[in-house]
Chains A and B, each alone.
Chain A
Amino acid sequence: MKRRDVLKLGMVGLAAVSFKSIGCSGGSYYVGQDISLNITEALFEMVDRKPVYMWAFQDPNQPDPMKAGPRVPGPVISVIEEEDIDLTITNTLDENHGFRIPSAPGRPDVVDFGTLAPGETKTIYFRAPSAGTYMYFDPLNSPVNRVLGLHGVMVVMPNNPLNRVPYSHPTANVQALFDDLGTTAEFPGHAWEPSRSRIWNLHSIDPRWNAKAQAGTPIDSGQFQNGFLPRYFTINGKSGFFSSHDMDTALEGHVGEPMLVRIVNSGMATHSTHLHANHFFVLAVNSIVQGNVFMVDTYPVRPLDRVDWMVPFERPPDIPVHPNNPGQFLRIDAAQELALSFGGVRQSPLDYPMHCHMEMSQTAAGGNYPLGMVTHFTFTGDVDGVPFPHQG
């Protein structure tokens, strides 16, 4: 299989992406084998439209003007296991920066650029590590440079994606789960398709520190860690209504269309990500594919953690099954609800939230619930492919 085809399979719904939103979206987006990133700066409007100064990554070779600007998180780097990558980083700012991609705990870094002086450009060759979810970030003055905006996600696809498992060396339990999706009575519907993937880059922002960076004031990392009071909480750079309706972030599909979610936490707070309507399987944590695969509705994501979920998109199990509905079709069991509207918004499709349960993260500027770390989980149709009626 050609590299291009492998990546196409792994793209995050690329064809469906709306480019209406710019900047803050982490978005479905990749750079190829020759990857260049500039370290730069910009003002980013938060959910309440208050601008916050951030350090940001920018792809200087991005031809699409809607995606060419500074981004927090940076562009998603998507590569294939064991391919040779040629990575160039340029520091366009006035202070030292760095670039690092850690591997599993206790293992050597995938890559570490050391220090890039103001104006400096460095190119490093590295070989893509084992398939999975990685975070890149500026490790200098840790955690300051990362938290002030210099972070992003690297996705490594296995070089045999036809196995339909996102790891080259899955544990027996992870392989069994993927084998069962779409083939057993518990998981009717479809097997996992690599295009059914999302990335959630969780982040927390305390604008007081960003203002210091904008003023050129040196920041002591100890004071930063002790005095950090997060005021904005984002998923892929967006919050609340905007992260809930971002097609790259929200989960959407029919019953029986399982979806992989790759979660990283580049911020300062420990999050407790909770999905409504489905329990999910925890597949991998910090590059370690799990042997004991828990099915849970809430799972912690500590700072720097990388956690992969499989959301089965099973019929929400606690909806009563009505008599005479052996197929357990939701369009029958929820027929009356699907026809209702509240506040001018239809109940069809069926919307649920995913949110962090450390509920301070559901705020912006200390309030404005729920304009924090939240997105939508939406069922648009039944397991037999029939969309729900009354959608709108």
Chain B
Amino acid sequence: MALQTIQRDLVTPEEEVKFQKFISPPKDNPDTPDRLKPDIEFYRKLMVGVDLNLPSRLPDGTDKVKMMVIADDAPKNRLPEQFPSPLIRVRQGQIVHVHADGGQDGHTIHFHGIEPTPMNDGVGKDSFEIGSYTYQWQPKHSGTYFYHCHKNTTLHVELGMYGPLIVDPPEGPGYVTGYNLPGHLIRYDVEAFWAADEIDTRWHDLQHNAFLTHSGHDPNDPSTFTSDGILNDFRPNVFVISGAVRANDTTPITDSRVAVKAKVGQTILMRVVNAGYTIQQFSFGLDADVIAMDGRPLGVPPTGKYSAPFRLSAGTPFRLTSAQRWELIMRPTRTGTFPASVDYFDWVTGKKLATARSQITVA
């Protein structure tokens, strides 16, 4: 008996406009609707090239990787181009404006974990892709976030179009919201932000719009779709933490963006994000209290009313998948050099791909 074929849904003529927008969002430069006066402003330019130098040559002789980042675009005191993209730091309750320049190609910025209207959420198929636009939002919850381009996201985030985003409580840097009666405010002395990531250098030779669907074609015609893409096939060969490349599985990264220095009696706030596409296993050689996940403090009402912070004893590993963020508090009680590491595991096979090591030095 012949095999039955179960058809995919057909796109009706009435649905075609929505389908075309889904696969090929329009580029536009609208004024920000429902605009309010900002308390703080940032300027960002999408897809600016910057070289990431490698500590040793890859087997093919490569000694650097071309990254594409979201650069600072401020009219004055502009920060240098950097990978990851520069920090956005605001306070809870501020009205934030991010003036973004998408250039000729059309990009977006999604502020991951921030929950504004769709036009300010930076997802093209649910709004538009920018030429130029001012994103507006007002963070209700302090915590650890990040931002990234959400066009052909698979490729654009991998190319480096992401950066850290911190929402401080109203008291500003030096304080973090966490379970601590009566006011649920924890003061810290040392702050670190680990954005662990991996790079598949093959992808960095691709055009930014590689393997997108052919827009304008009949969505019911199989030839509308590309069939030769490699964006399902992630084979990272460079491993980084916050832009610092690890040389090998054993040599600790000493880059000041990663290695932590503190004194006995001080409080360390470690912000951790999986900014890559592997399963990342973190381990810190000091006892740590996990005080928040994804910008929501544990044990702190109202959102944390049903949860509680918990202790990870020194060396206890924990795993984060892509875009998960944890905040940890460490209070070292003795001097020494304590290991800190990330193991990277393949998202399908579960096999360990690499280890990046660094350290926490307590004086």
A-side interface residues toward B, CB under 8 Å? 20-24, 41-51, 53, 69-70, 173-174, 176-177, 180, 184-186, 204, 225-226, 228-231, 238, 240-242, 244-245, 268-272, 274, 276-279, 281, 292-300, 316-322, 333-337, 340, 342-345, 347, 350-353, 357-360, 362-371
Contact = CB atoms under 8 A, between A and B. Distances in A.
Given A297-B112, A366-B232, A69 B152 contact: no
The 3 closest A-B pairs by CB, nearest first: A367-B211, A366-B229, A367-B229
A49 B8 contact: yes
7 contacts: A41-B3, A177-B306, A238-B9, A272-B323, A294-B293, A342-B28, A368-B213
Contact of B119 (A274, A322, A337, A363): A337
Contact of A276 (B115, B152, B310, B349): B115
Contacts, number: 297
Instruction: Name the prevailing secondary structure of the B interface residues.
Output: loop
Q: How many of chain B's residues touch chain A, expressed as a range?
A: 35 or more
Given A49-B8, A277-B115, A298-B322, A363 B307 contact: no
Contacts of B95: 320
Contacts of B123: 276, 352-353
B137 A363 contact: no
Given A244-B22, A365-B225, A293 B154 contact: no
A226 B349 contact: yes
Contacts of B222: 48-50
A174 B306 CA distance: 7
A366 B230 contact: yes
Nearest to B303: A295
B210 interface: yes
B137 A318 contact: yes
A131 to B, nearest CB: 19
A362 B296 contact: no
Interface in B1-55: 3-9, 11, 15, 17-23, 25-26, 28, 30, 33-34, 36
Contacts of A317: 115, 140-141
A296 B211 contact: no
A276 B294 CA distance: 12
A342 B28 CA distance: 8
A342 B295 CA distance: 31
Contacts of A347: 118-119, 127
Contacts of A268: 348
Contacts of A242: 8-9
Contacts of A41: 3
B293 A296 contact: yes
Nearest to B297: A295
B231 interface: yes
B173 to A, nearest CB: 20
B18 to A, nearest CB: 6
B295 A297 contact: yes
Nearest to A333: B34
Nearest to B321: A272
Contacts of B323: 272, 274, 297-298, 357
B136 A320 contact: yes
A24 B6 CA distance: 7
A48 B225 contact: yes
A340 B133 CA distance: 15
Contact of A42 (B5, B17, B30, B34): B5
A333 to B, nearest CB: 6
Contacts of B74: none
Interface in B117-170: 117-121, 123, 125-128, 136-141, 152-155, 157-158
A245 B22 CA distance: 11
